[in-house]
Structure 1
Amino acid sequence: MADSASDLPLVVGIGGTIGGVSSTERALAIALEAAAREGFRTRMFGGADMAQLPLYDPKATTRTAQERDFVDTVRQASALIIASPGYHGSISGVVKNALDLLEETARDPHRPYLADMPVGLIATAYGWQATGSTIAALRSIVHALRGWPTPFAAAVNTQLTKFDAEGGASDPAVIEQLSLVGQQVARFAPIAVPHG
């Protein structure tokens, strides 16, 4: 048993939009809460955090404090949950930019990219069509980063489901689906051993 919260394994959430707390970020928070109930500590990089990441420059010789914090936190993670709104049928630019920054881990000796890490996926969109294509795009990216997308991914139609500031949603089934994403990454996380 862990002696303190800092000894607990970490699940990192990445998702949201610029310009305030979005339905995507609220959906991600529900999934992270489920992982926390499974005995994990969590950290979310929401829209405001991702807005501070400059456009990824692969040739840059230095990184900002925000870029270093993001990459170092992912390096410590046992699992990830990525949530993206469906923008024009795919993931948002801010989420893609954050994931592009994980190129910094390419030469890590113990775990390049997201190798062997369970990754939960959430897509939100105003309508069903973009949720499916956004989840497919996220799965492809996670595979390219050598991660393991969990079997279940949550698709949330924000035309039908409304989130509230208290951490709830108008459809209990959506809360169950988002919680399942958090539970699955937590249950698969012991397979992945983080190295910092």
Structure 2
Amino acid sequence: MARHIVGIGGTFRPQSSSELLVRAVLSACERMGARVTMFDGAALAALPHFNPESQDRTAAQAAFVAALRDADGIVIGTPGYHGGVSGVVKNAIDLLEDLRGDDRVYFDGMPVGLVVSAAGWQAGGVTLAALRGIVHAMRGWPTPAGIAVNSIAQKPFGADGALIDAGIAAQVDTQARQIMGFRLEQAA
């Protein structure tokens, strides 16, 4: 059975660089045999604010949580807003508190690829580190290869949204190989 890799990321702007980076990693995973699902900026923006006091979920929230329950790996992408994770991405991650009582709690035993697009190197690095901390707190395994793109200095995508930067394409392929090749020895 094909591994299911779920992508989370983007902004309110369709085809944002963070969304395109997540899609690029998902495409590479798909070429390696994965089944992929993408929750882009529009899908994330449609999720109501997470309220830990309420168990009521919209159909969109339930579908998002169900996809993550079924996932074998995750790719999370965010813009680096002032050195932090964007609100729509953080809200989606917060909703995954619904996984706390599952047999596989949160991201336990899953590889998680992380990508950041920021208007500067500092914001990219700081945001990537913040994402790694979030994934660790949720028991996930961040891939060794994280991707941080400086959207001012680098132009990774063409007008059609295709990845045109060979260096970033190599990073995308490396991250996809790490996600698809991840094996966790389960205790007997």
TM-score band, normalised by the shorter chain?
A: over 0.9
Are positions 1:112 and 2:105 aligned together? yes
Q: 1:139 aligns with which of 132, 142, 148?
A: 132
Unaligned runs of 5+ in 1: 1-6
Are positions 1:90 and 2:63 aligned together? no
Where does residue 122 of structure 1 map in the other structure? 115
CA distance in 2, matches of 1:187, 1:165: 32
Residue 166 of structure 1: how far off its partner (Å): 3.7
Residue 60 of structure 1: how far off its partner (Å): 1.1
CA distance in 1, matches of 2:24, 2:78: 14
Where does residue 5 of structure 2 map in the other structure? 11
Q: Which has the higher contact order (CA 8 A, sep 6+)?
A: 1
> Residues 10-49 of structure 1: matches in 2 within 5 Å?
10-49=4-43
Cα pair 1:128 1:157 within 8 Å, conserved: yes
AA in 1 matched with 2:163 = A
**CA offsets, 1:36-76, max 9 Å, x none?**
11111111100010011011000113100000000000000
Q: Say how many residue pairs are matched.
A: 185
1:165–1:106 Cα change, 3 Å: farther
AA in 2 matched with 1:182 = A
Cα pair 1:116 1:192 within 8 Å, conserved: no
Are positions 1:70 and 2:55 aligned together? no
* Higher mean C-alpha displacement, 57-66 vs 176-185: 176-185
Structure 1 runs of 4+ off > 6 angstroms? none
CA distance in 2, matches of 1:176, 1:168: 14
Q: 2:175 aligns with which of 168, 173, 181?
A: 181
Cα pair 1:34 1:180 within 8 Å, conserved: no
Identity, in percent, stands at 46
Unaligned runs of 5+ in 2: none
Q: How does the TM-score come out when normalised to structure 1?
A: 0.90
